[in-house]
Copies of this chain bind each other. A is one copy, B any other.
Amino acid sequence: MSKLPRPTISDVAKAAKTGKTSVSRYLNGEQNLLSEDLRLRIEHAIAALDYRPSLMAQGLKRGRTRLIGLIIADITNPYSVNVLSGIEAACREKGFTPLVCNTNNELDREQHYLDLLRSYQVEGIVVNAVGMREEALNRLQQSALPMVLIDRKIPDFACDVVGLDNTQAATTATEHLIQQGFEALLFLSEPLGTVNTRRERLSAFRATLARYPGVVAESAETVLHEAAQIDNTLRQFHARHRGMRKAVISANGALTLQVARSLKRIGLHWGSDIGLLGFDELEWAELAGVGITTLKQPTWQIGYAAVEQVVRRIDGSDNTVREQLFSGELIVRGSTSL
């Protein structure tokens, strides 16, 4: 039960009565250059010793590792894990292996993981910025590695991005509410800062409503975990428009959860007292009261496309900065039909 050292390529060579070169050749697909006899001996030796080449040594030798680093700010976010599926699928197809790092939105951990990934010679990184704090995202420019961002851009920094077509999505959402006959709309978001996704969604919301002068357009920012702030915002919005049909658009899934909790606290029912529409699909959307209308992102495709792009860069087959946008899909439920 003592932990014996892993067998090395030399052990295999010895067991197969040959040199390491031949074993190395065997491993790298140059099997046709080997005699039938030798090949079998090697095959046998490998199986007998349960030998696996050390990726450490391999990576050290040749420069490439076929590793792609993943930086995720908040793995608790359902959006992120869904994107992850697409990422993994693509990695697999392209012959890469993803290294998942969850920074938990802490700056020092991001730095730590970034160093780690570089130390492991990852050939590129995919940054899932959903839920990521601005500062964390901004610091990312440093890494001179092939990098592609998911969801959000770094201001003033040309970099590949793949994410939602925010304008299309917000327009679709807003028009749906108008069609449903809502007369006052509140766009609720986390602090806009320089976060392009939030700003774009809000802009499209405003642009759309500019075409419908009869409808009241409001917007507000709130911190995610300030329950009281959300309560007040919603309560006041509701009070300000007594007698009108009003609805709230929540700018992302995490916020939608908080909004729903808030409405419950202050005793407002979505679908009857107030309309509710949230960005990002939620597995429980149909179960919450009369159901919550959502704008679903094609998360899997987004993840897949991100890897495709980073691989293009790694291969050097494309050097133009790309911005790849996917359309959202409105899923109508009870919360938007008064």
Interface residues of A (CB under 8 A from B): 3, 5-6, 52-57, 59-60, 63, 65, 75-76, 81-82, 84-85, 88, 92, 97, 99-102, 104, 109, 115-116, 118-121, 144, 257, 260-261, 264, 282-284, 286-289
A287 touches B289 (CB 8 A): yes
| B-chain residues with CB within 8 Å of residue A56 when the two chains form the complex | 56, 59-60, 65, 119-121
CA distance A260 to B284 in the complex (A): 9
Question: Binding site of A, secondary structure by majority: helix, strand, loop or mixed?
Answer: mixed
**Are B100 and A55 interface neighbours, CB within 8 A?**
no
The residue in chain B whose Cβ has the minimal distance to the Cβ of A116 is B97
Interface centre among A59, A97, A289 (most CB of B within 10 A): A59
Q: Give the residue name and chain of the B residue nearest to A54 (CB).
A: B119
Q: A52-B115, A260-B287 are in contact. List 5 more A-B contacts (CB 8 A).
A: A56-B60, A56-B119, A88-B104, A97-B116, A261-B286
| CB of A258, distance to nearest CB on chain B (Å) | 10
Structural contact, A264 and B284, CB atoms closer than 8 A: no
CA distance A104 to B287 in the complex (A): 26
Among the listed B3, B75, B288, which residue makes an inter-chain contact with A287, where contact means beta carbons less than 8 Å apart? B288
Set of chain B residues within 8 Å of A81, measured between Cβ atoms: 75-76, 81
- Chain B residue with minimal CB distance to A113? B97
A57 and B60: CB pair below 8 A? yes
* B-side contacts of A120, CB under 8 Å: 55-56
Contact in complex: B75, A84 (CB < 8 Å): yes
A-B contact pairs, 14 of them (CB 8 A): A5-B63, A6-B118, A52-B115, A55-B116, A56-B65, A56-B119, A75-B84, A84-B102, A88-B102, A92-B109, A257-B284, A261-B286, A261-B287, A264-B286
Are A119 and B52 touching (Cβ within 8 A)? yes
Q: Is the CB of B97 within 8 A of A100?
A: no
Contact B76 A82 (CB under 8 A): yes
Expressed in whole angstroms, the Cα–Cα distance for A144 and B260 within the complex equals 48
Contact residues in B for A75 (Cβ distance below 8 Å):
75, 81, 84
The CA of A116 and the CA of B91, in the complex, are separated in Å by 14
- Chain B residues contacting A101 (CB-CB under 8 Å) are 100
Q: Which residues of the other chain, B, contact A76 by a CB distance below 8 angstroms?
A: 81-82, 85
